[in-house]
Structure 1
Amino acid sequence: MYQCAECSIPWSGNGSWINNRTTGTVARFRSDDHVTRWRDGGAYSNDPVADRTWVWYLRNC
């Protein structure tokens, strides 16, 4: 995910994520109705064991 866009997430369940974009870039985790339900703390940030069951889309900027 290199360009600023909303992307469909092809996985579900628990797993990890890493925001390794430009410092301060915030990722927005969105539900099936495209509503942002959670934002990360800005790059660089990660979660090695995240609940992704509700995440359908991600906006990476």
Structure 2
Amino acid sequence: MRGWMAYYGGFYPSALNPVLRRINTYLLRWIMSKYNKHSDWKSECWLTQLSTGRGTSRTGPG
């Protein structure tokens, strides 16, 4: 995934924003179904921290 983003981001970086937003939406949906007890704003915060590089925990949301 990282290589794909680096390659296509070199040509037109702003065109990746809708695609990456869609991927984040799917990841959030997956997290909320996997960790059913965390199916609230905590999952969204956890995904946001992961996407910004601030969250390094491998234990999941919460």
Question: When the two structures are superposed, what TM-score results if normalisation uses the length of structure 2?
Answer: 0.24
Question: When the two structures are superposed, what TM-score results if normalisation uses the length of structure 1?
Answer: 0.24
Relative to its length, the structure with more strand (as a share) is: 1
Pick the structure with greater CA Rg: 2
Relative to its length, the structure with more helix (as a share) is: 2
Structure having greater relative contact order (Cα 8 Å, sep ≥ 6): 1
